[in-house]
Amino acid sequence: MTTGVEGYMYPNEITLYWSVLIVLYPYITGLVAGAFILASLERVFRVDAVKPTYRLALLTALAFLLVAPLPLQLHLGHPERSLEMYFTPHRTSAMAMFGFVYLWYLMAVLTVEIWLDYRRDIVVMAQSSSGLKRWIYRVLTLGSNNINERALAIDERVGWLITLIGIPSAFLLHGYVGFIFGSIKANPWWSSPLMPVVFIFSAMVSGIAAVMLLYMLIMRLRREKIDMLCVDTIARYLFYIFIVDFSLEMLDLVHRIYEADESFRTLNFMVHTKLYFSQIVLQIFVGTLTPILLLALTQVLKLPEIARKRIYTVAGCLTLIGIFAMRWNVVIGGQLFSKSFLGYTTYKMALATREGLLMSIALTLLPLFILWVLVKLLPPWPEKVQAEIPATTAAN
Amino acid sequence: MSVFKDSGHLFRLAALYAVGTLTFLGIRAFFVPRSFGQYGHYRGAAIAEIAAHPVHYAGHQACETCHADVQEMKRSGMHAQVNCEACHGPLAKHADDPSIQPAKLDTAVLCVRCHAASAARPKGFPQVAAVDHSNGLPCETCHQPHNPAIGAGGAK
């Protein structure tokens, strides 16, 4: 029972209750928020170069958002009870209010924006496809086939507005996850007003890296040419945001070191022992400094295309590992030490249980599968649908 | 005019959301118990339901009306403050109807619950490493449960 405990732990601290699934939860919501911010770059900030990834980013956000509550439900059990959160809203529970933040983002922002953006294609495909697909598209048109210029112009304007609302909403979505941790005043590892901000920036970093990788991967699978201007631009934004993210994390660190409150000795010891590999090695060196240096290289040197692609791929993968390590260090790290500051426990991940390793791998792959279905259903490649538009609608 | 016509699909979307919200409110009205929120963030009727649970413990005053001899012995010993039912378990049924016999206690299990040596207990609290101390004998061989000091109540 007490294996893995060093020093003194209170009895209720010995086993970690928040497992690897709770690590996945901020990781996945972070990818959602980040992917959405990338999409809004094109829409609101008019960065035209990233247009090829606009729709892909939206679909990625949706695919991951649909999976985001699953780790929580698997962790808590009784998924049917999650509806109670909406039936009887508990205003003083931060976690219960997340249900509404989630619902708002899913229903008021993401689905509406995707629907508006795809409406023209949906109407076209409802006419050109057959069988089950035809029915799906027909339902998605909501019975309106109006895609004349004025209707599309209205969609464009409303879509812009939704994106505008969507940016603070995406910040809220992931800032809120940070807030849930940052507001736990009993835990010095979490309790920090910087937490939501750090979460937002790390979310942007991971989401942008994920969409960049997905874009390059899908283009490869489709044997199409990667739009280098697009990828270069994404990489540049990734670089900038990464620097902000890193500075914020360092700010937090410096603040903690200088403040050196009563928890400092314990946390410091933990970072040098139990968390050394995941925090210092994986998160900071492998997952942050290396990708930043690699991306900086592409900014200062004139590298050939193939070298840039490779660097982006490596940097993107390392980034995703680093951000995962960051979530891990927050969630797991926050439970490894005793509130008495006199001891440490160990997290032992199960393999084939409801909260084990296999389950978390499945949960990481599930969004990719959903994305695959979404991409089949709502192809993000405008040129393809353009070519398919039958003469009837072209006349409109 | 045509603005309304060309944004017809948006009204359809709004209508869909409105229908969704109404459905939700309908389901909610059905599922949320009437007394929810009466006193706080829980079902008010739960209080009456809990109050209606049968009583399991009679309380030591009840025991003492009939077992004055035990009470007398217990009063002078270190177990004076230990409630009868802390050792004998819930006996409301027996107190109502003494013909219901309480279960016999096994002191080898009972006493160590409170007296097994443990670092978590206050230092001054009487505690023993049972294996060394009693060598497997039931505790009541030497201690009288109701007045446990050796020689106080006299071993049984």
CA A119, distance to chain mean position in Å, is: 25
Cβ–Cβ gap B17/A107 under 8 Å: yes
State the sign of the Cα–Cα–Cα–Cα dihedral A124, A127, A132, A135.
positive
Q: What is the pLDDT confidence band of residue A395, given thresholds at 50, 70 and 90? A: very low
For residue range B84-123, what is the model confidence (pLDDT) as tens digits?
999 999 999 999 999 999 999 998 889 999 999 887 788 8
Who among B3, B8, B31 is closest to A87 (CB)?
A: B31
Q: What is the pLDDT confidence band of residue B156, given thresholds at 50, 70 and 90? A: very low
Q: Which residues of B make CB contacts under 8 Å with A?
A: 2-3, 5-10, 12-13, 16-17, 24, 28, 31-32, 36-37, 41
Closest CA to A339 of A187, A185, A190: A187
Disruptive mutation site among A106, A144, A396 for chain B (greatest number of B CBs within 10 Å): A144
Name the residue ranges covered by the structural domains of chain B: 8-52, 56-101, 104-156
Who among A88, A119, A143 is closest to B32 (CB)?
A: A88
Structure tokens at A117: 């953006």
Residue of chain B nearest A10, judged by CA positions: B120
The residue-averaged pLDDT of B130-142 equals: 89
Q: Say if residue A42 is exposed, middle or buried (CB neighbours under 10 Å; 0-12, 13-18, 19+).
A: buried
- ipTM value for the complex: 0.87
The DSSP letter of residue A92 is T
For residue range A76-90, what is the model confidence (pLDDT) as tens digits?
999 999 899 999 999
Structure tokens at B44: 């008010």
Residue of chain B nearest A81, judged by CA positions: B31
Question: Which residue's structure tokens are 């790290």?
Answer: A333
Facing residues of B144 across strands?
B147
Who among A87, A115, A151 is closest to B32 (CB)?
A: A87
Helix H or strand E encompassing B130: helix B130-134
CA distances (Å), origin B121, targets A77, B115, B116, B118, B148: 36, 9, 9, 6, 19
Rounded to whole angstroms, how far apart are CA atoms A122 and A220? Answer: 26
Note whether residue A310 is domain-resident. no
For residue range A314-323, what is the model confidence (pLDDT) as tens digits?
999 999 999 9
The verdict on A120 touching B (C-beta cutoff 8 Å) is no
Angle at A78 between CA A77 and CA A80, to 5 degrees: 140
Disruptive mutation site among A154, A158, A396 for chain B (greatest number of B CBs within 10 Å): A154
Which amino acid, one-letter code, is at A372? W
Give me the pLDDT at residue B135, please: 83
Give me the pLDDT at residue A396, please: 38
Rounded to whole angstroms, how far apart are CA atoms A229 and B123? Answer: 74
Cβ–Cβ gap B8/A146 under 8 Å: yes
Q: What is the pLDDT confidence band of residue A11, given thresholds at 50, 70 and 90? A: confident
Cβ-Cβ contacts under 8 Å, A90 against chain B: 41
The verdict on A87 touching B (C-beta cutoff 8 Å) is yes
CA B16, distance to chain mean position in Å, is: 50
pLDDT at A328 over 50: yes
The verdict on A154 touching B (C-beta cutoff 8 Å) is yes
Closest CA to A214 of A383, A57, A348, A86: A57
Q: How many structural domains is chain A composed of? A: 1
Note whether residue A206 is domain-resident. yes
For residue range A84-122, what is the model confidence (pLDDT) as tens digits?
999 999 999 998 999 999 999 999 999 999 999 999 999
Kindly report the number of other CB atoms within 10 A of residue A16's CB atom: 18
Rounded to whole angstroms, how far apart are CA atoms A155 and A381? Answer: 19
Rounded to whole angstroms, how far apart are CA atoms A100 and A24? Answer: 20
Rounded to whole angstroms, how far apart are CA atoms A133 and A128? Answer: 10
Who among B2, B12, B24 is closest to A142 (CB)?
A: B12
Structure tokens at A267: 């946390």
**Size (chain A), residues:** 396
For residue range B41-86, what is the model confidence (pLDDT) as tens digits?
999 999 999 999 999 999 999 999 999 999 999 998 999 999 999 9
The contacts of residue B68 (CB under 8 Å, 6+ apart) are none
Disruptive mutation site among B2, B4, B9 for chain A (greatest number of A CBs within 10 Å): B9
Cβ-Cβ contacts under 8 Å, B13 against chain A: 112, 115, 142
Disruptive mutation site among A142, A148, A149, A156 for chain B (greatest number of B CBs within 10 Å): A142
Who among B2, B5, B13 is closest to A142 (CB)?
A: B13
Cβ–Cβ gap B8/A144 under 8 Å: yes
Check: pTM over 0.80? Answer yes or no: no
CA dihedral A323, A273, A280, A212 (to 10 degrees): -20
Give me the pLDDT at residue A382, please: 65
Q: Mind telling me how many Å the CA of A384 is from chain B's nearest CA?
A: 24
The DSSP letter of residue B155 is -
Helix H or strand E encompassing A344: strand A343-344
Cβ–Cβ gap A88/B41 under 8 Å: yes
Closest CA to A89 of B127, B145, B28: B28
Whether A242 and A295 have beta carbons less than 8 Å apart is answered as: yes
A135: containing domain: 22-238+354-395
Whether A93 and A392 have beta carbons less than 8 Å apart is answered as: no
Rounded to whole angstroms, how far apart are CA atoms B125 and B82? Answer: 14
Give me the pLDDT at residue B152, please: 62
Q: What is the pLDDT confidence band of residue A383, given thresholds at 50, 70 and 90? A: low
pLDDT at A367 over 70: yes
Note whether residue A198 is domain-resident. yes
A360 versus B118: which is more confidently predicted? A360
pLDDT at B6 over 70: yes
Give me the pLDDT at residue B119, please: 77
Cβ–Cβ gap A146/B6 under 8 Å: yes
Q: What is the pLDDT confidence band of residue A391, given thresholds at 50, 70 and 90? A: very low
Cβ-Cβ contacts under 8 Å, B37 against chain A: 88
Closest CA to A208 of A86, A5, A57: A57
Give me the pLDDT at residue A394, please: 42
Whether A207 and A70 have beta carbons less than 8 Å apart is answered as: no
Whether A33 and A207 have beta carbons less than 8 Å apart is answered as: yes
Disruptive mutation site among B10, B19, B35, B38 for chain A (greatest number of A CBs within 10 Å): B10
Residue of chain B nearest A8, judged by CA positions: B120
Give me the pLDDT at residue B14, please: 96
Q: Mind telling me how many Å the CA of A151 is from chain B's nearest CA?
A: 5
Q: Say if residue A1 is exposed, middle or buried (CB neighbours under 10 Å; 0-12, 13-18, 19+).
A: exposed
Give me the pLDDT at residue A127, please: 92
**Average pLDDT of chain A, as a whole number:** 92
Who among A86, A87, A119 is closest to B9 (CB)?
A: A119
Q: Say if residue A15 is exposed, middle or buried (CB neighbours under 10 Å; 0-12, 13-18, 19+).
A: middle
The verdict on A100 touching B (C-beta cutoff 8 Å) is no
Note whether residue A127 is domain-resident. yes
The residue-averaged pLDDT of A41-51 equals: 91
Q: What φ, ψ does residue A344 adopt, rounded to 5°? A: -135, 150
Cβ–Cβ gap B41/A90 under 8 Å: yes
